[in-house]
Amino acid sequence: MSNVTIYHNPACGTSRNTLELIRNSGAEPTVILYLETPPTREVLVKLIADMGITTRALLRKNVEPYEQLALGDDKFSDEQLVDFMLQHPILINRPIVITPLGTRLCRPSEVVLDILPDAQHGAFAKEDGEQVVDDNGNRIKK
């Protein structure tokens, strides 16, 4: 049983990079394909609280339901925003990673390095070639 969980969308480059950073630390995470298996209301509310962000901060803005539902308007309560995310899981920004050191929305993907219990096992470059971990497993600061 892994002590790392990722709410993952394999179609998302940031999510894929985050998953590979987790694996580069030697962990094999529990992968939740949240578009197929969305969290329950209770879990989603807990994730938001554990991340210490607003409900609105978890909303993914550049997807079709966001505009259709006029979610940019400031007229919706947190409870209503959670309802929309449960009805349309694509509205949940990703990837969300849970480890014993915390829960984070990992955008950019290297945010995951702040909460991984184990060090990186070697160099890591994102899919676009950006080097984020050096040969010694140390985070490269920009």
Residues 31-52: pLDDT tens digits? 999 999 999 999 999 999 999 9
Rounded to whole angstroms, how far apart are CA atoms 30 and 17? 15
Q: Active-site residues: which are they?
A: 12
Residues 72-113: pLDDT tens digits? 998 999 999 999 999 999 999 999 999 999 999 999 999 999
pTM above 0.85, yes or no: yes
- pLDDT at 124 (0 to 100): 95
Give residue for tokens 């807990």. Answer: 46
Q: Can you list the domains of the chain with their CATH numbers?
A: 5-133 (3.40.30.10)
